[in-house]
């Protein structure tokens, strides 16, 4: 049996006087040699450590081996790029303005130019361009964005082509809408509030003063019933203001997942279905509907030019028709801004739209 470590072994006088056996002399000699080597090397090691700088250890643990697969590298690169563009564009309270763009709406003279022009001629809206991030859905849209704006992010979906015009309710249109919902959730998860605006919305005033301060999710309407709390308002998903918190993140997950329960419907229709769902009460999300007096469109225009913040080319199908009526809106705004103060105050001025957008929807 082995003696416990540190135990003392007692030997009899005879054992001490007995000459060592031949077997015991070999280990004894090895032990003596080892002790001699230790006696020589230990002082040297001590002197070496004393002379070496303590801040430079003789070894360091190696870094964790990263996942260098192409997919992992691409995802990490895109995530870093998104963080960078959001940080650069954010207001002090971490709010960004977001819009999406594809090649069909990005050509010179198309809707993106009208969208940016509205910020430039609006009442106090030019500075908001510093906080606008354009989400490009294809390479051509991204390259155009880089040539006209400071904050661009490429959201290229592998296996999907969002570059051409997506007719309302087509398969490509639905895919593009649900990709947008998923991306907006990601922005919320990164801790950023956002104002999302379709690119066919013209900005004439800063909308921030018209938002409800203690509300999680606020959405514009095609038709406003007069009460911001009324769930019977007809919402439009093309313009909303969302605060980043656990409630809104969960809501966007629920909204995106609900597309499977209502196949063949776009995000706006699905929101209309789920706005009555008891789960929204359970998650505690606070929802308000924005008045068309401030956030109007072709469905229901803002009547008072002294109040209007945005105008949307909604209730209109067809790119060429949208472009025509958006240009008329810009001209109407320029005319209004040039009027004498007394004429503006009379509120006699009105929009000349819809024009082309009042025609029957395109068949293709």
Least reliable range by pLDDT among 23-27, 90-94, 267-271: 23-27
- Does a structural domain hold residue 55? no
Q: Cα–Cα distance between 56 and 51 in angstroms, integer?
A: 12
Residue 184 contacts residue 98 (beta carbons within 8 Å)? yes
Residue 2 covered by a domain: no
Q: Residue 158 — very low, low, confident or very high, per pLDDT cuts 50/70/90? A: low
Lowest mean pLDDT among 23-37, 102-116, 253-267: 23-37
Tell me if 296 is assigned to some domain.
Answer: no
Q: Is 84 helix (H, G, I), strand (E, B) or coil?
A: helix
Given a contact cutoff of 8 angstroms between Cβ atoms, the answer to whether 310 and 239 are in contact is: yes
Is residue 63, in this structure, part of any structural domain at all? no
Highest mean pLDDT among 20-34, 66-80, 114-128, 346-360: 114-128
* Average pLDDT of the segment spanning 59-72: 40
Number of domains, the chain: 1
In this prediction, residue 266 carries a pLDDT of: 79
Q: What is the average pLDDT across 223-244?
A: 96
Mean pLDDT of the chain: 80
pLDDT mean over 100-110: 93
| CATH code, domain with 182 | 3.90.550
Quick one: tokens of 119? 């910020």
Q: Tally Cβ neighbours within 10 Å of residue 144.
A: 23
What whole-number distance in Å separates Cα of residue 179 and Cα of residue 181? 6
Contacts of 218 (CB under 8 A, 6+ apart): 211, 212, 240, 241, 242, 287, 288, 289, 290
Q: Among residues 235, 225, 216, which one has the least CA distance to residue 274?
A: 235
Global pTM reads: 0.76
pLDDT at site 302: 96
Domain of residue 96, residue span: 78-291
Per-residue pLDDT reduced to its tens digit, 240-252: 999 999 999 999 9
Apex 84 CA angle, 83 and 85, nearest 5: 95
State pLDDT tens for residues 143-154.
999 999 999 999
Q: For residues 325 and 317, is the Cβ–Cβ distance under 8 A?
A: no
Domain assignment present for residue 304? The answer is no
Structure tokens at 273: 């279905």
Residue 172 lies in a domain: yes
Residue-wise pLDDT tens digits, 278-336:
999 999 999 999 999 999 999 999 999 999 999 999 999 899 999 999 999 999 999 99
The answer to the question of residue 335 being in a domain is: no
- Domain contains 243: yes
């Amino acid at each position: 049996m082995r003696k416990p470590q540190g135990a003392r072994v007692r030997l009899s006088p005879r054992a001490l006087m007995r000459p060592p056996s031949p077997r015991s002399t070999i280990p004894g000699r090895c032990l003596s040699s080892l002790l001699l080597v230790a006696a020589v090397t230990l002082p040297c090691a001590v002197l070496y450590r004393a002379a070496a700088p303590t801040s430079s250890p003789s070894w360091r643990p190696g870094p964790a081996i990263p996942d260098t697969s192409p997919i992992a590298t691409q995802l990490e690169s895109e995530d870093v790029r998104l963080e960078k563009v959001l940080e650069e564009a954010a207001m002090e309270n971490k709010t960004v303005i977001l819009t999406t763009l594809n090649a069909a709406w990005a050509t010179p003279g198309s809707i993106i130019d009208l969208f940016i022009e509205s910020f430039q001629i609006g009442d106090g809206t030019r500075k908001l361009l510093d906080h606008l991030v354009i989400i490009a859905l294809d390479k051509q849209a991204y390259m155009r964005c880089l040539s006209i704006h400071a904050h661009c992010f490429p959201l290229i979906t592998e296996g999907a082509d969002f570059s051409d015009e997506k007719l309302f309710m087509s398969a490509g249109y639905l895919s593009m809408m649900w990709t947008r919902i998923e991306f907006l959730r990601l922005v919320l998860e990164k801790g950023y509030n956002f104002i999302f605006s379709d690119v066919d919305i013209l900005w004439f005033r800063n909308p921030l003063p018209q938002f409800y301060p203690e509300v999680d999710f606020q959405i514009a309407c095609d038709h406003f019933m007069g009460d911001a709390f009324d769930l019977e308002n007809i919402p439009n998903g093309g313009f909303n203001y969302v605060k980043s918190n656990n409630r809104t993140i969960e809501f966007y997950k629920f909204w995106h997942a609900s597309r499977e329960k209502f196949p063949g419907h776009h995000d706006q229709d699905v929101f209309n279905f789920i706005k009555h769902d008891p789960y929204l009460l359970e998650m505690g999300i606070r929802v308000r509907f924005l008045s068309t007096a401030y956030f109007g469109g072709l469905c229901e225009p803002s009547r008072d030019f002294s109040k209007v913040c945005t105008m949307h080319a909604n209730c209109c199908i067809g790119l060429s028709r949208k472009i025509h009526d958006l240009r008329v809106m810009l001209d109407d705004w320029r005319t209004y801004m040039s009027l004498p103060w007394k004429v503006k105050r009379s509120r006699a001025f009105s929009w000349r739209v819809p024009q082309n957008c009042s025609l029957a929807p395109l068949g293709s």
